[in-house]
Amino acid sequence: MVTEKVSHSWVHAARWLVENGPPQIAEKAREALLAEAGSSESNHRLVATAELLEMGAVDPDGGPVRETVRDAVLREIKEHGAKYGSRLHVSAPGTPKGNVDMELFAENPNAVIKLMHTFNGPSFYLRDRDDPNEEKKRMKHWNAKLLHGTRYWPEVLRRSTEAVNKAADPDRDGALGIVLYVAAGSALVELLQKSMKPGRSAATTRHYLLDELYERGWRLCFRGRRVKVLRKGREAAPATVNSGTANT
């Protein structure tokens, strides 16, 4: 199937061979995917690129097919930007109004490429299908991933932290997702405790804090309005794990 390319699903079969086949066959399947991803005339170019990125067979910015990947992303930004508005949907305190797709691509190309050329990134066109809450949960870090390392990040982080500490509605403007991306686990426990104070209507905030802490391995219990730590989990935030930067 892979060598003859006789089925529309040959690309997925090639990935399976790369991950599960004998070394010699796996290498041939990888070469087939690379060739397909690098062909400007291929009908399967985007899918082949996504498969290579998804399984880590090329570098985050495209590796051996870097220029092909970047050209494809630029083309998508231009085409979909005109048709749908901002494809990347950046929303956070401190970000400029309007479409900043090209600025994000110039300053943080790896994140933009991953968003537009992998299968595990959030889909911005399926928010209202199936379980919209699950889609929203998967998207909680995407603003931060796109903005981290760009000129906008310092101001975004400062204003997002202020919004969360003031207990406004951080879920509405994306501030909470920014803080979840950089805060240490113990800091999130403190925010969770603060959200339990009388007069606070912060059910959504508590939900996201608990979800993040659970994913990091923290186990908690509630006694009245007090939060008790049963087991400490990972302190490191996604930003620390993914890029090696220090917590802010």
pLDDT band at 172 (very low <50, low <70, confident <90, very high): low
- Asked if residue 80 is part of any domain, the answer here is no
d(CA 180, CA 117): 24
- 86 within domain boundaries: no
Q: Is 201 inside any structural domain? A: yes
Q: Give residue 51's pLDDT.
A: 86
Determine how many CB atoms are found less than 10 A away from the CB of residue 41: 5
60 residue type, one letter: P
Mean pLDDT of 187-192: 92
pLDDT at 166: 79
Across the chain, what does the average pLDDT equal?
80
Residue 230 lies in a domain: yes
On whether residue 220 sits in a domain, the answer given is: yes
pTM of the model: 0.72
Domain total of the chain? 2
Cβ-based neighbours of 18, under 8 Å, separated by 6 or more: 26, 29, 30, 33, 55, 57
pLDDT of residue 244: 40
Interacting residues of 79 by C-beta distance below 8 A, sequence separation 6+: none
Alpha helices (H) in the chain, listed in sequence order: 10-20, 23-37, 45-54, 66-84, 101-107, 109-117, 132-138, 142-147, 153-165, 170-173, 175-182, 185-195, 203-215, 238-243
Six-digit token string for 96: 């400029």
User: Do the Cβ atoms of 212 and 191 come closer than 8 Å?
Assistant: no
Of the ranges 5-14, 71-80, 158-167, the best mean pLDDT one: 158-167
| Domain final residue, candidates 58, 74, 97 | 58
147 within some domain: no
Question: What b/e string do you get for 200-220 counting C-beta neighbours within 10 Å, with b at 16 or more?
Answer: eebeebbebbbebbeebebeb
Instruction: Give the contacts of 175 (CB within 8 A, at least 6 positions apart).
Output: 92, 93, 159, 160, 161, 163, 164, 168
- Residue recorded with tokens 């090329």: 58
Q: Each residue of 46-81: pLDDT tens digit?
A: 788 888 888 888 887 777 788 878 887 888 787 776
- Give backbone dihedrals phi and psi of 222, rounded to 5 degrees, phi first: -115, 130
Is 16 domain-assigned? Answer: yes
Query: What confidence category does residue 190 fall into, taking pLDDT thresholds of 50, 70 and 90?
Result: very high
Which of the four pLDDT bands, split at 50, 70 and 90, describes residue 229?
very high
Q: Write down which residue in 39, 58, 77 finishes a domain.
A: 58
Among residues 17, 35, 58, which one ends one of the domains? 58
Q: Which residues fall within 8 angstroms of residue 181, CB to CB, at 6 or more apart?
A: 141, 144, 145, 148, 237, 238, 239
Per-residue pLDDT tens for 75-104?
878 777 666 566 677 778 888 777 788 888
* In-domain check, residue 225: yes
Q: Kind and range of the H or E element at 98?
A: none
| CB contact set of 57 (below 8 Å; sequence gap of 6+) | 18, 30, 33, 51, 63
The mean per-residue pLDDT over the stretch 40-48 comes to 80
Q: Which domain holds residue 45?
A: 1-58
The total number of residues shown for the chain amounts to: 248
Give the separation between CA 144 and CA 2, rounded to whole angstroms: 38
